[in-house]
Structure 1
């Protein structure tokens, strides 16, 4: 391989171990030679040679929810490109018997660094993350004292609420999260605070009767939205703290015979794969990109990737669809023959 690449055997070894002091063009020549010869470097051999396993632990509360699975995919793609492995720790939240995150769980994969999905960690689990000696980054939820990659939560919420205000809505409800298990208090708190602040800036009192909590889950949000929308003085628009919560609001409106957006406009935050089919106006974020950025940050710190990696908030974008419109009473706001459920 060294002869084919035109370099020494020592350079081949350094290039395949992604060490810093190999020129990019030389490393590329070595990789091309390895590909032509069908050579696959042994991760275990590399670990023995460097004393550092070429793996990053990814801790996730569950695998089925969109945000968690997208983060894992983003991390894994970035690590595989660098020749590193993903060591997955699934706490099994979706199965109903979630394991507590402990130091033993975190180090089960014998990894050199760790990426932790920040949603839903209790105080003891956050302490475990803070005390890790290896490099660690959180994604999607803050842990005090630990670097994190995520979106600007308040700015994302403000995009959705500002859109509703610009359409002419003033009585805007919020279906979000509160203190339910599995929620990051910073995330739900920032989104709720942004909603309240924008209403206040617009001269509207964000009274407690306009907020209900559905834990950012579909069914609980549907039940919460039924209470919010059933009264005669219902809001003309609702900002949901997640797309899943927004689906619940739209289902509740349907159950009450209320048209969307004629009777009530609905805006969410996430841009889940089904949101376009729902016609949901929402704020788009990319958890896969956040996972990839977290992996790149750790690889740079470990000396595998050259150059600085930004820790600035990941971008968000308002996506306007058919679930929002100006408030109007010029058309029937209920489906024909519908009654309150």
Structure 2
């Protein structure tokens, strides 16, 4: 195995200069940095994470806490954060918070306190006072993504406004019989995102003089299959049929499109469909959506963490996350 001494000898610098040049910490002249990098590459030298940790007091590792791994939105946020952190030479340790309260308790009471991470990113996890206190007690940089937390730097998503925007788009096209595919109680835990989106949907209807009806509300599970089954219920039962569906996620919206096609309805001629997220398959299905830029959410959270780790006091580590209505081919004027 190649040692740091061999790199220093080949580059004609001290081992301390090699360490600073490869870690990115401390001043090194551009010429020396280039010689060190060239020498390291030619010798196949890789910085020992253990040695680097002992020298710097850091693990070069960021903990990321997520509620689900099998949902596209969360995996995309994670991908954005991971890419940004890896570019900065940081690894990630993933903590999957499940519906099991004992597992969740163990993550905050034990796992994060083992001093294996330099910082923590919490993705769409509504932290209670005890969990927030445990994170703050670590003395590490923390950034949360999701609803507000007055004690932590937070990147917030205004789910109520996002849902209003999607619904108002349908109302603006002349639709009045608008159904909503939301979520069951199982998926309404952290920040009550499904509830916020349903409230935004109902507020937009009320403001337009359209009374909300429970017959046009159908729960699902934020998956394509869940959206498919919910749309079949909405379109197949006796009584008035919706002319438009607002789904609380793009995956459920895609399921609704597939269900409508199977039942013989034309999208958007017979049924307009709009979702939320900015799913990578949205363009393929020509789905109208409110894009939340999940990849950018992860990148922004990682950037905020890195700024804190590098001691940039003026860096903005909180604020509202952007969203944008993307109109495609699944919505049209009501007949």
TM over 0.5: yes
CA-based RMSD: 3.3
Higher helix residue share: 2
1:214 to 220, 228, 231: 220
**C-alpha separation in 2, matches of 1:304 and 1:5:** 30
Aligned partner of 1:309 in structure 2 is: 316
Distance 1:90 1:28 in 2: 41
Residue deviations 1:235-284, cap 9 Å, x none?
21111000111122223323433222222211001121222222211111
Query: C-alpha offsets along residues 274-312 of structure 1, whole Å, 9 cap, x if unaligned?
Result: 222222111112222111111111111122668513522
Indicate the residue corresponding to 1:231 in structure 2.
238
Counterpart Cα distance in 1 of 2:310 and 2:127: 32
Determine the structure 1 residue equivalent to 2:254: 247
Q: Is residue 2:44 matched to residue 1:37?
A: no
Matched, 1:128 2:135: no
Deviation at 1:111, TM superposition (A): 0.4
Deviations 1:165-210 (A, max 9, x none): 1111122111112422475343222211211111111111123332
Q: Which residue of 1 aligns with 2:117?
A: 111
Separation in 1, partners of 2:30, 2:247: 48
5 Å matches for 1:1-341?
Answer: 13-14=19-20, 16-19=22-25, 22=27, 26=28, 31-38=33-40, 39-90=45-96, 99-100=103-104, 102=106, 103-107=109-113, 110-119=116-125, 127-132=130-135, 133=138, 134-140=140-146, 145-181=151-187, 183-229=189-235, 230-303=237-310, 308-328=315-335
**Structure 1, residues 22-65: CA drift from partner, whole Å, max 9, x if none?**
4xxx5755543332112543322221122222110122344342
Give 3-state SS (helix, strand or coil) of 1:191's partner: helix
Matches of 1:63 and 1:106 in 2, distance apart?
A: 19
Q: Structure 1 207/182 Cα, relative in aligned 2: closer, same or farther at 3 Å? A: closer
How far off is 1:157 after superposition?
1.8
Gaps of 5+ in 2: 1-6
Are 1:154 and 1:194, in contact at CA under 8 Å, matched by a contact in 2? yes
Aligned twin of 1:332: none
The range that moved more, 276-285 or 1-10, is 1-10
Secondary structure of the 1:100 match is helix
Q: How many residues align?
A: 319
Deviations 1:134-167 (CA, angstroms, capped at 9, x unpaired): 2222234556743332433223222211211111
- Deviation digits for residues 101-154 of structure 1, max 9, x if unmatched? 5232334670011112225x686xx84354212222223455674333243322
Gaps (5+ residues) in structure 1?
A: 329-341
Q: Is the 8 A contact 1:72 1:291 kept in 2?
A: yes
**How far has the Cα of 1:326 moved from its partner?**
0.8
Q: TM-score, normalised by structure 1?
A: 0.80
